[in-house]
Amino acid sequence: MKTLIFIVIPLILYSGETLHALQITPSDTLVVEVTGTGTDAKFVPALIQVNAGDVIRFEVLEGMHTVTAYHPDNRRPLRIPDAASSFDSGMLNKGDVWLLKIDEKGVYDYFCMPHERLGHVGRILVGTKEASAEYDNSLIPKEAARIFSMYWKKKQQKK
């Protein structure tokens, strides 16, 4: 059993609420928990950092969700590297586990089909620590865009 060191940086939103925690975790196999059934649906952590070749293990704790790449194959704008393959878990239920291996470096955005409009989205940083990406937030649902723009704001604050 590997010991993982979690660095948790709470993000304070403009509303003053702390809704999402930003966790960056170095690892070979990283677990992302999938929880919630509606507006509370989320990936935990929603932002992860892995190395090329690492495996991400999605574990569904409650509800019905998907892990789906922002990619034209999934009828969405491209928000993963050009050279990367699209992915889509299909519908997952409580207790399901889905593994994703990523080999191409870059920033990957993904969403949950049933809850995208409620902001159920996540970002995977592969071989980079740069949390922001130059993806056009006007092409995706407002609440999804808000989650991604938090990562951008985080970067701006550091400057």
Binding site for Cu ion (CB under 5 A): 41, 65, 112, 115, 120
Q: 55-60 and 106-111: which strand pairing?
A: unpaired
**Alpha carbons 133 and 113: distance in angstroms, whole number:** 22
CB of 146 to Cu ion, least distance (A): 16
Coil, strand or helix: which one is 154? helix
| Token pair 């690892």 in the structure block, residue | 27
Coil, strand or helix: which one is 117? helix
| Token pair 């704008």 in the structure block, residue | 77
Sign for the pseudo-dihedral over CA of 111, 103, 85, 106: positive
CB of 87 to Cu ion, least distance (A): 16
Phi, psi dihedrals of residue 148, rounded to the nearest 5°: -65, -35
Alpha helices in the chain (DSSP H): 142-158
Residue with the closest Cβ to Cu ion? 112
**Alpha carbons 146 and 69: distance in angstroms, whole number:** 17
